[in-house]
Chains A and B, each alone.
Chain A
Amino acid sequence: MIEIVSASRCIECDICVKVCPANVFDAVPDSAPIIARQDDCQTCYLCEIYCPVDALYVAHRAEGHFPITEAEVEERNLFGSYARALGWKRGKAGGTEHDPTHRIRVAAV
């Protein structure tokens, strides 16, 4: 579930508040959004890739809280790691033309 909104990275654009399909965040005037309904998070990682500054971190555990510090996420270079794997940059989509999934499907037969 969503664990971190990095106040140091966040630019207060509130895109995550808008795009989260589970309505997990609340906007806060002149501040980073807060995680208001963590237990509603479906662990889809989509907020991370829409974030233009890689300020969000979703832990892999979908059932319950998984404490992790911002320092550890920085240290392990995990901010924005899913966006990089897809080819999304600064919240902008990209990379579908390089998707090699068709090779996997041939191999799976």
Chain B
Amino acid sequence: MSSSYQVKSTINDPLHLQADVLVLGGGPSGAWAALAAAEDGARVVLADKGYLGTSGATAPSNTGTWCVPPGENRGQAVERRWQRTGGLADQRWMLRCVDQAYENLVKLSEWGYLFPHEDDGQLYIANLRGPDYMRFMRRRVLKAGITVLDHHPALELLSNGDAITGASGVDRQRNRDWSVEAKAVVLATGGCAFHERILGATGLTGDGYLMAAEAGAHLSGMEFTGKYTLAPYETSLNKGLPYRWATFYREDGSPLLDANGEQVSNGIGEREKDIAKALIAGPVFARLDHAEPALQDWLRRGQPNCFVPHDRAGIDPFKDLFRITLRAEGTVRGTGGIMLATADCGTGVPGLYVAGDAASRENMTGAVSGGGAVNSSWAIASGWWSGKGASTHARKSARKAFRSMSKPLGEAGLRPAGNARADLHPAEIMEAVRAEVIPLEKNYFRDGTTLHTSSERLESLWNDVRQHLHAEGVERVRSRETASITASARWSLASALARNESRGMHRRADRPGNDPAFARRILVSGVDAISIGEAQISREGIAS
């Protein structure tokens, strides 16, 4: 194994690197992809928008994994989970995911990550503490000789007309351009949180979706963006677990009651809809008063970030009422993303692979949220497969990635189709997009008429972005994020209109209930002109 080498680099000139595999994104799936490719002897570059170790939705959090040990019960565990997926998941993908995730979790322990022990002395590997896990992964990646480019957001993919040949972007701390020629690229860019202020969302702007769509890849499940999680009002702490022991109240202090007159408690179950309705009507408050003292201690020590906002606000959440909100999570805890065309996480575009939340997670969790656990195991497994797939592709690839033959694929936010307009501001466009895809009354509870109206507004915003949005230097990062968020919102609305039923987190008031005719995937493709397609649940291309 050798590290990638620099072709040319001085402080003022653009940075050019060559690699076998380029990984875009430094969350868990990107780190696992880089490690898998390096293990095969590939020269790997990992470029992250932020910092490998703190970027992504995992690093600021504490996440369970979907951890199913090998053995006879594993088929049953998968079957039970599949029953909750709205019929859209694929048990073969689920089985190979739990197997690969388990293998890699054991690797983590062997490498020296310190898991806690259960009372019987068994190691408990079904939980990963985000800051520690991602710091550990950074060390492991550096130890493997992988070149890490922090604060190097990618702006666009490069192609020679037949295959993806790398990517380019900007080093935002030095304000210089970079490009990496690579025989294969892994998109590990995360989901799209539509600029909601949740943990990790700063980098999760759907950049990979736009890059993939520009290269001709399909997206799948983009209608499944109706996942919201409780958080203390105006905070970033979208962690649902403590609300398992909460009761809920209106502003006047009266208990929130459900349709049967029962007090609403346990906010992470079926009662979430009652809380969403109440939040549309007015402020809602919570108190974690169902937590016994022992549990209070475990919560404080096990989920310390959940208590940081309370401690700083001077609130005891076990005794005091605190105001709450439901935070939109887009495709981060939703399930939509880039469609997987092959078992090694290929996108169908030669040389382009996808991992983690950048990929559709319908194979794993269908129409319902995978929460932290399934998504965490998926990041591990898909990261590993995509890294192997990319390194295999690089090895087989006889061609050399000559820079002169590659052209950049980026359009919206980089190269406006019409005249650049100085009066277009990314922040204003993003607020206008958010007004259509964030409010509970539009996106948690959906109906066809509202979706149509939102869709028309998004078309107009897209026209502004595509025709007129332009930026130079580091400002291109923001204009490109704006384009990615606007494009992701359009795909989400187009898919939500196409799914003329309710299923999982896609709740259509005008079409309540499942329609068996819709027990299939909704695909979208195209950037300016959007095409809708469908797919039966994939029955091909799986090889464990």
Across-interface contacts of B59 in A (CB, < 8 A): 21, 44, 46
Asked if B299 CB lies within 8 Å of chain A CBs, one says: yes
Across-interface contacts of A103 in B (CB, < 8 A): 295, 298, 302
Question: Nearest-CB distance from B330 to chain A (Å)?
Answer: 14
Asked if B4 CB lies within 8 Å of chain A CBs, one says: no
A60, B308: Cβ atoms closer than 8 Å: yes
Asked if A101 CB lies within 8 Å of chain B CBs, one says: yes
Asked if B50 CB lies within 8 Å of chain A CBs, one says: yes
Question: Which one of B55, B127, B310 contacts A99 once the chains associate, using CB atoms below 8 Å?
Answer: B127
Across-interface contacts of A44 in B (CB, < 8 A): 54, 59-60, 199-200, 202, 236
The 29 listed contacts between A and B (C-beta, < 8 Å) are: A18-B51, A21-B50, A21-B54, A21-B56, A21-B59, A21-B200, A22-B202, A23-B151, A44-B202, A45-B305, A46-B54, A60-B310, A62-B235, A78-B311, A81-B308, A85-B304, A85-B307, A86-B129, A86-B131, A88-B131, A96-B129, A97-B115, A97-B116, A101-B127, A101-B298, A102-B116, A104-B295, A104-B299, A104-B303
Please list the residues of chain B having a beta carbon within 8 angstroms of any beta carbon in chain A.
49-51, 53-56, 59-60, 62, 64, 113-118, 124, 126-127, 129, 131-133, 135-136, 150-151, 172-173, 197-203, 232, 234-236, 241, 244, 295, 297-305, 307-313
Please list the residues of chain A having a beta carbon within 8 angstroms of any beta carbon in chain B.
17-23, 40-46, 49-50, 59-64, 78, 81-82, 85-86, 88, 93-105, 107-108
Q: How far is the CA of A95 from the CA of B129 in the complex (A)?
A: 9
Q: How far is the CA of A96 from the CA of B151 in the complex (A)?
A: 27
Across-interface contacts of A17 in B (CB, < 8 A): 173
Question: Which one of A23, A42, A50, A61 contacts B173 once the chains associate, using CB atoms below 8 Å?
Answer: A23
Across-interface contacts of A99 in B (CB, < 8 A): 62, 116, 127, 129, 301-302
Across-interface contacts of B304 in A (CB, < 8 A): 82, 85-86
Residue of B nearest to A46 (CB): B54
Q: How far is the CA of A94 from the CA of B114 in the complex (A)?
A: 9
B311, A81: Cβ atoms closer than 8 Å: yes
B131, A105: Cβ atoms closer than 8 Å: no
Known pairs A20-B51, A42-B198, A105-B64. 20 more at Cβ < 8 A?
A19-B54, A20-B54, A21-B50, A21-B55, A21-B59, A21-B200, A22-B50, A23-B50, A44-B202, A46-B131, A60-B235, A63-B234, A81-B311, A82-B305, A82-B308, A86-B131, A100-B301, A102-B116, A104-B298, A107-B295
Q: How far is the CA of A42 from the CA of B55 in the complex (A)?
A: 11
Q: How far is the CA of A78 from the CA of B234 in the complex (A)?
A: 20
Question: Nearest-CB distance from B249 to chain A (Å)?
Answer: 20
Question: Nearest-CB distance from A47 to chain B (Å)?
Answer: 8
Residue of B nearest to A94 (CB): B132
Residue of B nearest to A68 (CB): B312
Residue of A nearest to B56 (CB): A21
